[in-house]
Amino acid sequence: LYVPEGQHIGRELIHFDEIDSTNNHAKKIANDGCPHGTVVVAERQTLGRGRVGRLWQSDNNQGLWFSIVLRPDLEPEQVQIITLAASVAVVEGIFRDLGINCGIKWPNDIILGNSKLCGILTELSAEPGHVNYVVVGIGINVNQSFSEFDADIQDKATSLQIHAGKKISRVKLLAGILTCFEEMYNKVLEKNTKDIIDRWNKYSVTLDREVKIVSRDMEYIATAQSVAPDGKLVVKCKDGTVREISAGEVQVRGL
């Protein structure tokens, strides 16, 4: 794997044929003091994890399943910007390598057409005022054919191969995404939040759309306006009030 000189991200790269979850392993080695920028990649995951306790189908060697360990000098409250930066890096990495345009669906799904191509699971270890480490887990559907997806996700998922009509090099794609991630991560460290948010907005398919927000005690329609640096979705309700929605609290139906 070619990693350009001067890069920190991916300088240490640990590869598994099979593992439970690259995020689990990344957290383990982060606890044991592995260097900033270590990447864990696996051909197959037996227990790939998605957001909100879901399973992530990754029991085949057709996708790109990897996790990045970061040790940023940030307050725990500022870490969410890293997930936004990672979404942008995936979109730009795919575009630079393959010329394919993907979109970002809030909070951090990468979509192609109307289907999900990639999911990101960020996990944080922190104490008040101090971040121990952040693990950014990225799962991209690369060479799966339609029938390789589990029946229950076939109408929601897609892969780069389905879109491009040809096999894609996962190694080259990984190197490209890590290069883009390094660029975006440098913006995080420079506190260049505006550039990250601007790019995120540019790729967003959620903004300016009507979304249905479903929480435990209410349900309403609003228009998505922007994403805040803490990752919250800013929406304008029918009565003109503006609210900030966090991903953990609500489910947004529709785009």
Contact residues for ligand BTN (CB under 6 A)? 21-23, 45, 48-51, 54, 56, 58, 65-67, 109, 119-121, 137-139
Q: Smallest distance, Å, CB 167 to ligand BTN?
A: 20
Q: Which helix (H) or strand (E) holds 202?
A: helix 193-203
Q: Which is nearer to ligand BTN, 90 or 235 (CB)?
A: 90
Residue number of the CB atom closest to ligand BTN:
119
Q: Which is nearer to ligand BTN, 11 or 51 (CB)?
A: 51
Q: Which is nearer to ligand BTN, 28 or 130 (CB)?
A: 28
Q: Among candidates 30, 29, 60, 62, which has minimal Cα distance to 45?
A: 60
Q: Smallest distance, Å, CB 45 to ligand BTN?
A: 6
Q: Which is nearer to ligand BTN, 115 or 241 (CB)?
A: 115
195-233 burial: b if 16+ Cβ within 10 Å, else e: ebbebbbebbbbbeeebebeeeeeeeebebbbbbeebbb
Q: Smallest distance, Å, CB 121 to ligand BTN?
A: 4
Q: Which is nearer to ligand BTN, 125 or 225 (CB)?
A: 125
Q: Among candidates 8, 16, 58, which has minimal Cα distance to 35?
A: 8
Coil, helix or strand at residue 87: helix
Q: Which is nearer to ligand BTN, 12 or 198 (CB)?
A: 12
Q: Among candidates 75, 102, 98, which has minimal Cα distance to 199?
A: 102
Q: Smallest distance, Å, CB 69 to ligand BTN?
A: 12
Q: Smallest distance, Å, CB 138 to ligand BTN?
A: 6
Q: Which residues contact 149 (CB under 8 A, 6 or more apart)?
A: 57, 141, 157
Q: Smallest distance, Å, CB 120 to ligand BTN?
A: 6
